[in-house]
Amino acid sequence: MDRRSFIKKAGLAGAGTAAATALAAPAIAQSMPKVSWRCTSSFPKALDTIFGAAETMANFVRDSTDGNFDIQVFAAGELVGGLQAADAAAAGTVEMCHTASYYYWGKDPTYSFGTCIPFGLNARQNNGWFYYGGGNELMNEFYATQGLYGMPCGNTGAQMGGWFRKEINTVDDLKGLKMRVGGFAGKIMEKLGLVPQQIAGGDIYPSLEKGTIDAAEWVGPYDDEKLGFYKVAPYYYYPGWWEGGSALHAMVNLGKWNELPKSYQAVLASACEAANCDMMASYDHKNPAAIKRLVAGGAQLKPFSQEILSACYDAAISTYEEINASNPMFKKIYDNQQAFKKDAYLWAQLSEYTYDTFMMIQQRNGKL
């Protein structure tokens, strides 16, 4: 279109504004229908960062639609238990949930990629893979078989390795250890003799306090501090090699997703992206202060030894090989993500790694 014809059309559009306004109201009303959904979270309200990501998403949707698309968020246990959130969404008990995909790895380990797999991608890389590396498309090919449509909706960043009642110095120290560990990581740890326990967030502290379990991982300093683990298990290990950048997901009943007007689908997708970014930013703001308070309160920071990390890495790789041999969907996603990961860590060595390493040395030397 040349400039003159553009101006002419713009002029015509301007002249017709009054008439168009009178006629437009019914069309707008149709395109903004009242939709009321329930979203069940896998998390307690006390975890304001993770539970809050669902509220951030819901508020964005409500505000963007003049309140016409209203998503009410329920904490774990209000409608269904934390670990039943995706089942409730798939069954249509609720329209959607906010959860960690890997909670459902027992149904199919392919769910794990929606959060992260052990020794998988960090938070930034996970977003690169989800949004541009084919991750979201692949995950939704899988989620469709489960009656769900999923969108990343939050990330914790690299997590801590958890709280232990006693020091863990060698691989042998893991044998017989009862540990609350989220998701698929437990299957890998079993190879090293650990006895994994899958327990929803609100139930971890009582189990650790009673001694039903010997260790528990949850998220990182800010959330762990709230749940008070340092009072009953003082050794705080890192890194959480099974959660290098854990994503949360909004999972929508597939039928309900398909019924949504396209504009509401777009708003909800944007809301999830906004919540995804917001949650990581919130953690990056809150964790530094929390780790200082935890150490002041008696937490003893301990890195996992290279021996333990290497043994866990080898156990992870052999686990993936076993699953790849029998689960074509898992293998399809694994192969795609591995190719992404190889290049992502090639680039990261040049970019953040060298920059961050230099800056960390300045930090340690008190020069920041």
Q: Residue 364: what are its φ and ψ, rounded to 5°? A: -65, -30
| Closer to Ca ion by Cβ: residue 135 or 240 | 240
| Closer to Ca ion by Cβ: residue 44 or 182 | 182
- Give residues with Cβ within 8 angstroms of 177, minimum separation 6: 164, 168, 193, 194, 195, 214, 215
| Closer to Ca ion by Cβ: residue 204 or 271 | 204
- Shortest distance, CB of residue 320 to Ca ion, whole angstroms? 19
- Shortest distance, CB of residue 184 to Ca ion, whole angstroms? 11
Interface with Ca ion includes 186 (CB under 5 A)? no
What does DSSP assign to residue 79? Answer: S
User: Which residues within the stretch 190-229 sit at the binding site for Ca ion (CB under 5 A)?
Assistant: 217
Please, are residues 13 and 6 in contact by the beta-carbon 8 Å criterion? no
Q: What is the 3-state secondary structure (H, E, C) of 337-362?
A: HHHHHHHHHHHHHHCHHHHHHHHHHH
User: Which residues within the stretch 97-116 sit at the binding site for Ca ion (CB under 5 A)?
Assistant: none
**Per-residue b or e along 84-95, where b marks 16 or more CB atoms closer than 10 Å to that residue's CB:** bbbbbbbeebbb
Interface with Ca ion includes 182 (CB under 5 A)? yes
Interface with Ca ion includes 118 (CB under 5 A)? no
| Closer to Ca ion by Cβ: residue 101 or 159 | 159
| Closer to Ca ion by Cβ: residue 73 or 204 | 204
What span, in angstroms and rounded, lies between the C-alpha atoms of 257 and 251? 9
- Shortest distance, CB of residue 246 to Ca ion, whole angstroms? 6
- Give residues with Cβ within 8 angstroms of 36, minimum separation 6: 70, 72
- Shortest distance, CB of residue 100 to Ca ion, whole angstroms? 8
- Shortest distance, CB of residue 159 to Ca ion, whole angstroms? 5
Stretch binding Ca ion (CB under 5 A), from 156-164, 202-210, 306-314, 353-361: 156-164
| Closer to Ca ion by Cβ: residue 200 or 260 | 200
User: Which residues within the stretch 238-257 sit at the binding site for Ca ion (CB under 5 A)?
Assistant: 243
Say how many residues make up the chain: 368
Structure tokens at 81: 């238990």
Calculate the CA 56 to chain-centre distance.
Answer: 14
| Closer to Ca ion by Cβ: residue 120 or 182 | 182
- Shortest distance, CB of residue 361 to Ca ion, whole angstroms? 29
Please, are residues 68 and 35 in contact by the beta-carbon 8 Å criterion? yes
Stretch binding Ca ion (CB under 5 A), from 23-31, 81-89, 104-112, 181-189: 181-189
- Shortest distance, CB of residue 183 to Ca ion, whole angstroms? 8
- Shortest distance, CB of residue 229 to Ca ion, whole angstroms? 12
CA atoms within 13 A on the CB side of 313: 11
Q: Within 10 Å of residue 125's Cβ, how many Cβ atoms?
A: 23
Footprint of Ca ion on this chain (CB under 5 A)?
159, 182, 217, 243
